[in-house]
Amino acid sequence: GDSVTQMEGPVTLSEEAFLTINCTYTATGYPSLFWYVQYPGEGLQLLLKATKADDKGSNKGFEATYRKETTSFHLEKGSVQVSDSAVYFCALSDKSRYSTLTFGKGTMLLVSP
């Protein structure tokens, strides 16, 4: 079945550091890929998405590129802020199963001033 693997955290960075959170996936067909963010005590919010190979999703300074050849969708940001501290989830959507989402386990990001 489908699966998503993302790097374990926590990832601890200083403000203005460069961020990479790795995400790889296994899926049949051509899934859509997503990054969701969960701030402390809150539900999930869509951060960015990509629906086909070589698409780049971007939002709030975060970027991720759908790489079919390496089955990856790594999240990057050039300069993190304290307010970016949250848990980040990589996910894929299986259109053949009514768009059910398969999530990675999440990566906690802690940014210190």
Partner 1 sequence: SQTIHQWPATLVQPVGSPLSLECTVEGTSNPNLYWYRQAAGRGLQLLFYSVGIGQISSEVPQNLSASRPQDRQFILSSKKLLLSDSGFYLCAWVTGSGGYTFGSGTRLTVV
Q: Using an 8 Å Cβ cutoff, are 74 and 107 in contact? A: no
Q: Does 56 bind partner 1 (CB under 8 A)?
A: no
Position among 21, 25, 32, 62 found at the interface with partner 1 (CB under 8 A): 32
Q: Does 77 bind partner 1 (CB under 8 A)?
A: no
Please say which residue, 17 or 85, places its beta carbon nearer to partner 1.
Answer: 85
Please say which residue, 81 or 100, places its beta carbon nearer to partner 1.
Answer: 100
Q: Does 52 bind partner 1 (CB under 8 A)?
A: no
Helix (H/G/I), strand (E/B), else coil: 30: coil
Q: Using an 8 Å Cβ cutoff, are 113 and 49 in contact? A: no
Two structure tokens written together for 17? 């550091």
Q: Using an 8 Å Cβ cutoff, are 21 and 109 in contact? A: yes
- Residue that has been written with the tokens 């501290």 in this structure: 85
Q: Which residues bind partner 1 (CB under 8 A)?
A: 32, 34, 36, 42-46, 49, 51, 89, 91, 93, 95, 98-106
